Structure 1
Amino acid sequence: MAECLGFIRYLYLKALVAISRFLLKLLAPTPSSKPDFALRIPSRDKSRVIKVHVYKPRAEENAQSKPAPVLINLYGSGLAIPLHGADDDFCRLIAATTGHVVLDVNYCLAPEYPFPNALNDIEDALKYVLDRPTEYDPSQISISGFSSGGTLALAASTILPLGTFQSLIAFYPATNLYQDPSLRKAPVWGGKDRSPFWTKIFRESYIRGMDARDPRISPAFADTTKFPSRILIVTGELDASAVEAEELAEKARDEGRSVGREVVVRRMKGCGHAFDKKLTGETVVSARKETYELAAEVLRKSQEVSGQ
């Protein structure tokens, strides 16, 4: 009986997510991206592969043909909406200004692939990198993510061995999927809250009966001593995710003082969730430029500290 009810609930969630995907496709353009090329990385799920957009550094950055530093990037999807390619500008800037090869990973989505499938895809992408030490420098791997991609980046940092990632960059991530989203409030009045109903649907589609306090789901409950030595958290003062993200950043800073962890938190004034995806408005365009350059600086500094 329980299995039957679970299957019915899955069909309900799948129907709602399908409607949301359809409406988004009607109302918003499909992300346009221009990577240098695309890879198809083997998945542990033999029925599919993982599509990855690759952004290469400028020719002069790679002139010595030595293994390149790598940034694994994870787009924002609400864990259910296919928006791979939305971070094209960020990926291109990082590749062009830091010498990193950027791998923008099209991880799988719920409800078709619930937790932990997306994290498995990230691990499989990492394995692809580590298996190619002449192409990618295994000592210079960082991870970044936007929105739910930032959530996954934080979670991946806690389940992989310490030292796997040199830097962690998360733009406006949700960190506590256990909390009722209707209770979240932006730090500054005037923010436009995302629909708690749809947030709950997307989260349930991903979590599917697991304990949302699992740190692999909600990084707010993670052991932050496993985080990389360099962290950048970007939030918006009009975003309901800001407070929980900043609280996690402060926890990571406090627990990492003894090991010299550097944690940078930047709350952007006048900016809401996904502010960098808005192409008009002086405030958000300026914030986008500032935070992308800050992310690039974090990655460059990581290389300098490693003596590259």
Structure 2
Amino acid sequence: MRSLLAALRYLRLRILIGLIRLIVRFATPRLQPKPDRVLRVPSRDVGRTIRAHLYSSSPVEPTEVIDYVPRHVLINCCGSGFALPSFGADDLFCREISRRTGHVVLDLEYRLGPENPFPAAIHDVEDVVRYVLSYPGKYDAAHISISGFSSGGTLALVAPMLFPAHTFRNVVAFYPSVSMANDPGERRAPVKGPDKGRAPLFWTRLFREGYFGGMDPRDPRISPLYAKKINLPRNVLIFTAEYDVSALEAEQFAKKAEEEARFSNSRIELRRMRECGHGFDKTKRNVAARIEAYNAVVELLNHSLSN
């Protein structure tokens, strides 16, 4: 009986989330990313690979091994609500970061619910990081950074907890959701205003059910706000938006990180973007905010290379 109920619940999620995906597909412009290369990164699952878009301002493969210098890397995770296929949405960000900082940027396509629920997405992030670490002649293990947007920002904040301290040089999270323990309808934005980038509440509840189901939402790999130790990298940069209902929890996470940073050499920077909502950098309404935010990331990455 229990297995039948689980199967019916899964079927319901597949149908409803499938319909939402169709709505989004026809209501939004088609993504047309233009990476320099497409990688197939080995997964822990036998016979499976993880697709990653590679952006580079110069050749990644050594032309003369004796003169080749391993490249610094930024691993990026797109936003998805852990349900919507939006791989490639960060093409502009990835290209700009690569061009202006010299980083190789790997934009990874992690798995989504309900077909691949928690912890599938986290495993994909782990596997891509381990792939980078396994090629010290190609990638500089001392300069690995990770970034993410929305649910991808959540993954970027979780990643340092899964590896030894200082595996990552920098972590950048754009409008992450750091707590899924409470009903999303209870959240309030710092400033009341239009947040056209946020999914409807019904969608958000459905996506969460498809992502972690009956798992404990206070698991720090689901809700990093509840982590006992964040395992901070050298630099943490978090962007929130004043119209975004996930902002206050993300700012609470940043405050917790600041407390932990007192006992380390880490630097925590929080930027609340004014007159902006969730996904502000993906809209034409907030071009100035996008430029400001991307400039801040460029400045952070370039500065970390000289220290």
Confirm or deny a common fold (TM above 0.5): yes
Corresponding residue for 2:256?
Answer: 251
Say yes or no: does 1:57 pair with 2:57: yes
Say yes or no: does 1:166 pair with 2:169: yes
Matched length: 301
Say yes or no: does 1:33 pair with 2:33: yes
Q: Report deviation, 1:162.
A: 1.2
Q: Report deviation, 1:228.
A: 1.1
Render the CA deviation track for 1:21-60: whole Å, top value 9, x for unaligned.
001111001222111010011111225311000000247x
CA distance in 1 between partners of 2:229 and 2:239 (Å): 17
CA distance in 2 between partners of 1:89 and 1:216 (Å): 28
1:69-218 equivalence runs, <5 A: 69-192=72-195, 194-218=199-223
Query: Do the aligned partners of 1:191 and 1:240 also contact (CA within 8 Å) in 2?
Result: no
Give unpaired runs (5+ residues) of structure 1: none
Query: Do the aligned partners of 1:158 and 1:223 also contact (CA within 8 Å) in 2?
Result: no
1:207-286 equivalence runs, <5 A: 207-278=212-283, 280-281=284-285, 284-286=286-288
Q: Report deviation, 1:260.
A: 2.4
Partner amino acid, structure 1, of 2:114? P
Q: Report deviation, 1:258.
A: 2.0
CA distance in 1 between partners of 2:204 and 2:300 (Å): 31
Across the aligned residues of Structure 1 and Structure 2, the Cα RMSD in angstroms comes to 1.6
Q: Report deviation, 1:65.
A: 2.7
CA distance in 1 between partners of 2:39 and 2:76 (Å): 14
Q: Report deviation, 1:229.
A: 2.0
Q: Report deviation, 1:168.
A: 0.4
CA distance in 1 between partners of 2:165 and 2:43 (Å): 23
Corresponding residue for 2:8?
Answer: 8
Corresponding residue for 1:303?
Answer: 305
CA distance in 2 between partners of 1:224 and 1:299 (Å): 24
TM-score (norm 2): 0.94
Given the superposition, is the C-alpha separation of residues 136 and 91 from structure 1 closer, same or farther in structure 2, using an over 3 Å criterion?
same
Query: Do the aligned partners of 2:242 and 2:277 also contact (CA within 8 Å) in 1?
Result: yes
CA distance in 1 between partners of 2:104 and 2:144 (Å): 10
Give unpaired runs (5+ residues) of structure 2: none
TM-score (norm 1): 0.94
CA distance in 2 between partners of 1:299 and 1:290 (Å): 15
Partner amino acid, structure 1, of 2:213? R
CA distance in 2 between partners of 1:265 and 1:166 (Å): 17
CA distance in 2 between partners of 1:98 and 1:46 (Å): 35
CA distance in 2 between partners of 1:160 and 1:107 (Å): 18
Q: Report deviation, 1:210.
A: 0.7
Render the CA deviation track for 1:88-124: whole Å, top value 9, x for unaligned.
0110111011111000000111111001111110111
Q: Report deviation, 1:138.
A: 0.9
CA distance in 2 between partners of 1:119 and 1:235 (Å): 22
Query: Do the aligned partners of 1:249 and 1:263 also contact (CA within 8 Å) in 2?
Result: yes
CA distance in 2 between partners of 1:186 and 1:218 (Å): 18
Partner amino acid, structure 2, of 1:191? P
